Chain A
Amino acid sequence: MAMGDTMGKFNFKSRENRHELEFEGAPGYVPEYRPPRYWPPLYGPEEVRTFEGAPGFVREPKLELFLLAVSNMVGEDTFYEAASDRDARGQRRGR
């Protein structure tokens, strides 16, 4: 997956290659990439990237929840992540 697919910051594609006019049912339509389910695998392959583009590694959900809990004050924006996204992620991992 190219970084430009998910991050506007790295969207280096030329305009005509962005497939903005594609829609479900159109010829050559490719469904949007969906990341694999988080659990399993326990130690996933390189399927995510860090926010700055290096290979990222999914965490074991308990570790992700732990790190979020110990470094997070609920309802606060962070450099890379809005408060609402962050709190929703914490709730998902908490279940």
Chain B
Amino acid sequence: MTPGVSDEVAESVADKLSDPVEVARSRVLPIRYLSAFNAARSPRWAVALEMALQLALSNVPRLDGRTLILIDTSGSMSAKFGKDGSLRYWEAATVFGLALAARSADADVVSFSSFSRVFAVEPGEWVLPAVRRFGRAGYFYGQGTETERAVREHYKRHDRVVILTDEQAHWHGSRHVASSIPATIPVYTWNLAGYAGGHVPAARNRHTFGGLSDAAFAMIPMIEAGEAQAWPF
């Protein structure tokens, strides 16, 4: 029970949160449901917020084959964004990364900073509690951004690679962070911070998109279906 909120009020809020029309109309950024989940002390909100998050992530595609998902947890990703400062970049990256993993036939999720580790995804686990587990279990390995090494060490013949990051990689000695990935394998960079310099050159099978909304995720199946070879500008 949350003090001061009656069951009737809570029920009507929960109804709105699980109504696809209301969620679409509200245009609330998906990660805002994580702030609400983090702020809510009563567990009774968890179901409604997870439903709202899943509805808000309508553009996150279902992916076949094997997907390698790398989440940047370096120092810069711990920076807060937004004036209220309730969210950090790694939280946005993890919401998207774990939502994508949940909708992938077979996904390996890796957290990388100075070092990297596999984050074991539990089948059927909801995204919001999984993000909390990710944070509490401390999937942070120093301040560095060893993107190139994480990609190289964890790539095992996956069908695609998705890197959620601000792209500000540390010096690595390769031409770019995805040099170890065959040119035939698509590498998608999801940029959360919008800095000027990218970590891979624009090329075929090397795509960059991003943002705090999930809108651009729809590009992945489009690109792979061959409907789009370039930005639809």
Contact = CB atoms under 8 A, between A and B. Distances in A.
Interface of A: 43, 46, 48-60, 62-64, 66-73, 76, 78-81, 86, 89
Contacts of A52: 76, 144-145, 168-171
B interface secondary structure, majority: loop
A68 B202 contact: no
Interface of B: 75-76, 79, 81-83, 89, 144-145, 147-148, 166-172, 175-177, 191-203, 208-213, 215-216, 231, 233
Contacts, number: 116
A64 B196 contact: yes
A53 B147 CA distance: 12
B193 A78 contact: yes
B198 to A, nearest CB: 4
Contacts of A78: 79, 81, 193, 195
Given A58-B197, A67-B211, A53 B81 contact: no
| Top 3 closest pairs, chain A to chain B, by CB | A70-B211, A56-B197, A54-B169
A79 B202 contact: no
B194 A73 contact: no
Given A50-B195, A57-B176, A80-B195, 5 more contacts: A52-B169, A53-B170, A57-B202, A60-B231, A67-B191
